[in-house]
Amino acid sequence: MKAVVVYDKGKYEIRDIPMPRLNDGDVLIKINYAALCYRDLLQLAGYYPRMKYPVILGHEAVGVVVESRDPRFKPGDRVVPLLHEPDGACEFCMRGLDSYCINALSYGENIDGFFAEYARVSANALVKVPSGVPDELAAFTPCVIAMVYKGLKRAGLMHGETVVVTGASGGVGIHAIQLARALGARVIAITRSPDKAKFIKQFADETTTEQRFSKVVKDLTNNVGADIVIEAVGTPTLEESLRSLRNGGRIIIIGNVNPDESYSLRLGYLIMKDIAIIGNVRSHKSDVAETFKVLSRGLIKPIIASTYSLDKFNDALEFMRNNSRIGKVLIKP
């Protein structure tokens, strides 16, 4: 089968490799779609120290079971893998917190991922996709939509609260806007680009390209500030994001587009404003299942910038780096 194999730091090629072998408890899936994520760029740039080589890149996918060595799944089931492979046995797995599994390995990092025609996945890592959820949304539900869902749950989002989303045009941002609204929030979207703002406006309640957006947020909230910020960029927007929060506000840290940059927190500011900082990554299986219930209601539209075949993976990566892109890039093997 064809696969994108990373064989050294930053080095990859499309190779013809043998089909994956299954052990008991494993499932073979035929990939319908895999999705690119900013994380793939960071992985190829060498920012993930636990990468093992060679490894098949990719951690977002939807597929169909073709062979199962686990009674929970049968050929024909449409499934998504989590980002990680839980052992299903540790204390955290027992508590339903499988993304904290102490023995978990990560797809596309230290076990083979999904930029391939087929993938071996442990049944512990699979969630069935309801018929009302299209492949184009399901592919990035665990890493993107359910990840944001988990963050909003941890932040205790209440109906009617105001949520700011930075990096609003990105794969995370454009779907975070829609999810927050589907969960009853009023959403203020932040982007740098006036052109992208025109597109984003159809999804958000308010959209701004103002660099110092905290002022806009204050103006839109009777000078109070937002309840929650979904920070999908990182250091370039963090200062303004913190300034946008009301007393008792919560910030969900998701993006880190410039991992070489750091940010100095002013502790007094956090303390006196009673701010909660929530680092957020991945989703538990339960978050994926709950997010599928929201997606089944048809309230969230997949925003796909472009779809490439596996052979054109180089072009897909280049397009990921294109600043005018809005939404996700898909790979159709």
Ligand X SMILES: NC(=O)c1ccc[n+]([C@@H]2O[C@H](COP(=O)([O-])OP(=O)(O)OC[C@H]3O[C@@H](n4cnc5c(N)ncnc54)[C@H](OP(=O)(O)O)[C@@H]3O)[C@@H](O)[C@H]2O)c1
150 binds ligand X, rule: CB under 6 A:
no
Which two three-digit tokens encode residue 322?
A: 């294109």
Structural Rg of the chain based on CA atoms: 20
Q: Provide the binding-site residues for Zn ion, judged by CB under 5 A.
A: 37, 39, 60, 86-87, 90, 93, 101, 143
Q: Report the candidate in 267, 218, 219, 220 with the shortest Cα–Cα distance to residue 243.
A: 218
Amino acid identity of 211?
Q
Q: Report the candidate in 204, 192, 207, 197 with the shortest Cα–Cα distance to residue 257.
A: 192
Quote the CA–CA distance of 68 and 293 in Å, as a whole number: 25
Q: Which stretch binds ligand X (CB under 6 A): 10-18, 34-42, 264-272, 306-314?
A: 34-42
Measured from the CB of residue 140, what is the shortest distance to Zn ion in angstroms? 7
Cβ-contact 252, 230 below 8 angstroms: yes
291 binds ligand X, rule: CB under 6 A:
no
Q: Which does 87 bind (CB under 5 to 8 A by kind): ligand X, Zn ion, none?
A: Zn ion
180 binds ligand X, rule: CB under 6 A:
no
Torsion of CA 188, 194, 200, 202, to 10 degrees: 100
| Cα distances (angstroms) measured from residue 54 to each of 17, 20, 44, 61 | 12, 14, 12, 20
250 binds ligand X, rule: CB under 6 A:
no
Cβ-contact 157, 180 below 8 angstroms: yes
Q: Which does 254 bind (CB under 5 to 8 A by kind): Zn ion, ligand X, none?
A: ligand X
Measured from the CB of residue 217, what is the shortest distance to ligand X in angstroms? 16
The only residue of 230, 280, 294, 310 in contact with ligand X, by rule CB under 6 A? 280
SS3 state of residue 14: strand
317 binds ligand X, rule: CB under 6 A:
no
Tell me whether residue 44 or residue 64 sits nearer to ligand X (CB atom).
Answer: 44
The residue of the chain with the least Cβ separation from ligand X equals 170
Residues 47-106 that bind ligand X (CB under 6 A): none
List interacting residues with ligand X (CB under 6 A).
37-39, 42, 143-144, 147, 167-173, 191-193, 196, 232-234, 236-237, 254-257, 280-282
